[in-house]
Amino acid sequence: MFDAVLTGLAYLLSIKVILLMILGSFIGMIFGFLPGLGGTIALAIFIPFTFGMPINMSFAFLLGMHSSVMFGGSISAILFNVPGTSQNIATCFDGYPMSQKGEAAKAIGIAGTSSLLGGLFGALVLAVSLPIIRPFIMAFGPAEFFMLTVFGLSMIALLTAGTIIKGLIAGGLGLLTSFIGLDYITGSPRYTFGNLGLWEGINFIPAVIGLFAIAQMIDLYIQGGSIAQRDIVKTGSSVLDGIKETFFRWSMVLRGSAIGSFIGMIPGLGGTVANILAYGHAMQTTKEPEEMGKGNPDGIVGPEAANNAKEGGALIPTLAFGIPGSEGMAILLGAFVMIGVVPGPEMVTKHADIVYMLVFIVAIGNIIATGIGLLSANQLQKLTVLPGKQLIPIILAICMLGSFVARGRFSDVLVALIFAILGYYMKKFGYSKAAFIIALVLGTLFERYYHVANRLYGSWFFLKRPIALFLLILVIISITLPFVKSKKRNSWGNIS
């Protein structure tokens, strides 16, 4: 084993390999920063350029690029309330409020450090877990996936504890929106109003771009000024403060990383679920719950650690069983096959050196991406003081392009504009956009896994599967715990 570790590291000790990794990380951050692109599109575009490369050079470039996408997406989420990828949604909830306070550089420092530590955690989990993880992954089926989506939906109760009625309305609207398209079982159209373009449902990327980014630009145009006031930014915090803040919250880093690695191991869930669950956990455990949604560092630390840890977790089923742990891993799986390395049980025994090479690439790729982001954070912060009349046209152009690129359809641009109007009025009247987007993300998975589990195991299937029952108990605790804590605080307040 030790020989395999050294051999895997030796594959990367070359100037050409390091330069390719740096280039891949830089490209990945750009694709993450621009909404609508993301790691899947980056891999699809650049895989042909790796044909003929040795395996160490091709994966240094590809996996280095994929590892840096999440951090790139967090930068646009923090600066402009534009989640660069769907896996950076929760970062908007507290990252953008920090930018409005003039703490964009600090927020980027928190996101970068959390991403780095999460990525290293995921790489460690990958290295340790591959030989022993098979029974755990095989224990998860549709019933367990269904209960995980229910657990994610329970986050709505946490996000809207102060305005539960409006939160339920927003979440219900998100669920209804997720059901637009063809019924999963019968194939009949639902809520399509005779429009063939809606048969495939609402595309998630333009919906998120409209709800958060364009809606924010509308609000900025109406309010005037800039994202942050210049005098606030001058006296604000630096990227170094963000790095220190992350290490002060080391337990949140570990817990967010553990959530991300766990979700990454389970094929079919993806980084968006990890991002949302980590944010919900941060809401449950933070020492400043009243600051969540207003610029609480825990709201960045947990989701960003989970984002990058998820990549190491997603490589586990990809390498050990040939089952892609995410969309990006599905493309990497194709790259493996084209190079001549077939993932599966023999990967750990016959190609252990390649496995450890990938572990080192994930770790080093995260270090490079974090270095690039942190070095540029103080300069990027200056974008938040640009006058709205200069910033809005640029952001709108990027958003329109991102909405179109997602599927190459002009109808998606219209979807983004419709959701922009919805997002603006939701903010104006105090309805939770976070609750809406969580329900929209998980609604499709909720329906799909429910039908499959019901057909396989019958009614009350979550009582027949031990792991599903355990997750049900977690859901109940997750929903009731915030209200119990609130009642206790009120009781102590009355006593004092």
Closest CA to 158 of 300, 299, 307: 299
Evaluate if residue 336 carries a pLDDT over 60.
yes
Q: What is the pLDDT of residue 138?
A: 65
Residues 283, 203, 307, 226, CA torsion sign: negative
What pTM, to 2 d.p., does this model score?
0.75
Q: Which of 132, 130, 126 is nearest to 363 (CA)?
A: 126
* Averaged pLDDT, 6-13: 76
Q: Other CB atoms closer than 10 Å to residue 42's CB: what's the count?
A: 25
Q: How far apart are CA 83 and CA 62, in angstroms?
A: 22
Do residues 92 and 109 make contact, with C-beta atoms less than 8 angstroms apart?
no
Alpha carbons within 13 angstroms on the beta-carbon side of residue 438 total 33
**Whole-angstrom Cα distance, residue 158 to residue 290?**
12
Could you tell me the residue range of the domain that residue 65 belongs to? 2-495
Greater confidence (402 vs 130) lies with 402
Q: Is the model's pLDDT at 324 over the cut of 70? A: no
- Among 29, 28, 418, smallest CA distance to 203 is for 418
DSSP secondary structure string, 338-390?
HHT---SHHHHHHTHHHHHHHHHHHHHHHHHHHHHHHHHHHHHGGGGGS-HHH
CA distance 315 to 80: 31
Q: Which of 84-88, 189-193, 433-437 has the lowest mean pLDDT?
A: 84-88
Residues 272 and 87 sit within 8 Å (Cβ to Cβ): yes
pLDDT tens by residue, 255-312: 988 888 888 777 666 667 788 888 888 887 888 877 888 888 888 998 888 888 887 7
Query: Number of structural domains, the chain?
Result: 1
Q: What is the pLDDT of residues 44-99, one digit of tens each?
A: 677 777 777 888 888 888 888 887 888 888 888 888 887 777 778 888 888 888 88
Amino acid at site 197: G
CA distance 75 to 370: 11
Residue 383 pLDDT class (50, 70, 90 cuts) = confident
- The reported pLDDT for the residue numbered 128 is 75
Burial class (CB in 10 A: 0-12, 13-18, 19+), 244: middle
